[in-house]
Structure 1
Amino acid sequence: MFQKNNSPQQPVLLFLHVHKTGGTTLRSIINKQYPAEECLFLYDQEHDMSNGKYPPNKLEGIRCIYGHFHFGIHRFIPQPSTYITMLRDPVERVVSLYYHVTQNRMDPIHEQVKNMSMLEFASANNREFNNSDLQTYLISGVYPPDLERAKKNMQKHFSVVGITEMFDESLKLMQKKLGWHDISYTKINQTANRLPLQSIEKKVIDQIVSRNTLDIQLYRYAQQLLKKQLQP
């Protein structure tokens, strides 16, 4: 296991970045905690470590790994490790995701979604859209998503499961648990020109809720865990 500046040994940090949860802002904070050469950036098609691209010798000296991977990546890392993530109110997350994808021409699914209504996007049965129980899937690490497994993984393998709606409180807990220093930040990758939930048709909200029942339960569970950790 690594050491830095004679500091106590710390597990490799695995930041499981869920789409549209404030993760890009959190990643900018993480980047201030570790030198760039000690971080591994796993996004797009690079998140699968089971293909042998990252043998143990390539992971020596790595102190932080982040990306849109699902739970289970720790099995391919020779050093001890710990996860962190941020979860967001599932309805807010899907609404934000819709606006992000339709506005961002560089997004991989932009061409498929750009002419869809929000209801069509919310109703689409397409895993690429990340519009249905994504948070439970990523935290449980299995498909179909397994709520109880996700809860157990959070309890056993995550130092902090933050909540987007409690971003500052989550960040301070991460600082305390992980020994971070500077946690100042500017919000990054905010979705522009989106309607607030109260302005969105009820049938759209209802559709999002119906397709994210596991995420809603997991989000409420994560809220309880976070509030308990924040107690003095």
Structure 2
Amino acid sequence: MHSPFFFLHIPKTAGTTLNHIFAARFPEESICSVYTKEENEFLKNISAEELDRIQLVQGHIFVHDFDEFFSGFLGKYAFTFLRDPVARVISEYNFLRTWPDNHLYRYLNDEKVSLTEYVSSQRPELIYRGKNLMTRSLCGAVDDGRSMLERAMENLQRLHLFGLTERFDESLLMLKRMMNLENILYEKHNVRKKRSKVTEEELAVIKEYNSQDIQLYDFAVELFEQRVNELGDDFKSELSLFKKMNERYQRIAALLMEQNKDDEDFIYGK
């Protein structure tokens, strides 16, 4: 039995863009997505035969839900992406308020939940929202007397690789090497164009309720920089070339999208 790659997709860390990249690189039947309760139950009870056909597991997977995986091959083949905690929380809040298909959409809008309330509320619907999500995703369920943050830092180092949203291209090149990917040119997906202004008071609340995520992210940035430096000048040259190629690819993709839109407008008389 081979060991699949595990993508621990923390919401609003460029995971949708990554999933589009993977969809073009792996056969559909070899990808196991874990975004619903039913999909989580399937993975927890997956048989060795079923697991053998899987090359990639992707989804909102918390380490504490899959400690049995993490203690085995998950440490060798798992990866995740982190993002500046303040930016991640703001993005998550805005996304959930504007995405009608998510289960919090009506609640956030009907109750007129503010950003501050979203982060600080202890109501059942929001008690785990906007509060140290990255740390909780990575800390595991082991009760060894250490803090959630300490366990998350250790597990982050045990992952085969982690990336940073703010340094996406470097992270993607590392992922290319790890997964032996070929073409990794990409378009950005699930990106909000309009950003609402955030007050100093709102920023203060986000930082208060995400202090562990902020420490985890600072730790990750330092470790990430160290790993990039260890890759040397060849990696920097590869990165420079990739950026140029992908900028050109994104421009072409944007032109094609605009052309398709113009064609649709003409066909439907818009």
Deviation at 1:62, TM superposition (A): 0.9
2:117 to 116, 120, 125: 120
2:156 pairs, out of 154, 157, 165, with: 154
How far 1:110 sits from its partner (Å)? Answer: 1.1
2:73 aligned residue: 80
Question: Which of 213, 216, 219 is 2:214 aligned to?
Answer: 216
Q: Which digits, 9 at most, give the CA deviation of each residue in 1:185-207, with x for residues without a partner?
A: 11111124222xxx411110000
Q: Within 5 Å, which residues of 2 pair with 1:172-211?
A: 172-195=173-196, 199-211=197-209
- The 1:184/1:51 distance shift into structure 2, 3 A limit, reads closer
Q: Which position in structure 2 is the counterpart of 1:6?
A: none
Answer whether contact 2:17 2:186 (CA < 8 A) is retained: yes
- Residues 142-186 of structure 1, C-alpha deviation per residue, up to 9 Å, x if partnerless? 499711111111112x12111111111110111122211111111
| Change beyond 3 A, Cα 1:142–1:202 | farther
TM-score normalized by structure 1? Answer: 0.86
Closer/same/farther in 2, CA of residues 63 and 183 from structure 1, 3 Å limit:
same
CA RMSD, aligned part only?
2.5
Pick aligned residue for 2:49 from 54, 57, 75? 57
Aligned to 1:8: none
Structure 1 residues 66 and 164: CA distance shift in structure 2, 3 A = same
Report if the CA contact (8 A) 2:34-2:43 is conserved: no
Q: Which protein is bigger by CA-based radius of gyration? A: 2
Counterpart Cα distance in 2 of 1:127 and 1:184 = 41
SS of 1:162's partner is: strand
**Residue type of the partner of 1:169?**
E
* Alpha-carbon distance in structure 2 between the residues aligned to 1:180 and 1:149: 31
Asked if structure 2 preserves the Cα contact closer than 8 Å seen for 1:47 and 1:68, the reply is no
Residue of structure 2 equivalent to 1:7? none
TM-score (norm 2): 0.74
> When you count helix as a share of all residues, which structure comes out higher?
2
Compared with structure 1, are the counterparts of its residues 182 and 19 closer, same or farther at alpha carbon in structure 2 (3 Å cutoff)?
Answer: same
Question: Aligned with 1:86: secondary structure?
Answer: strand
1:169 aligns with 2:152: no
Query: Residues of 2 paired with 1:35 and 1:219: CA distance?
Result: 33
Aligned position for 1:42: 34
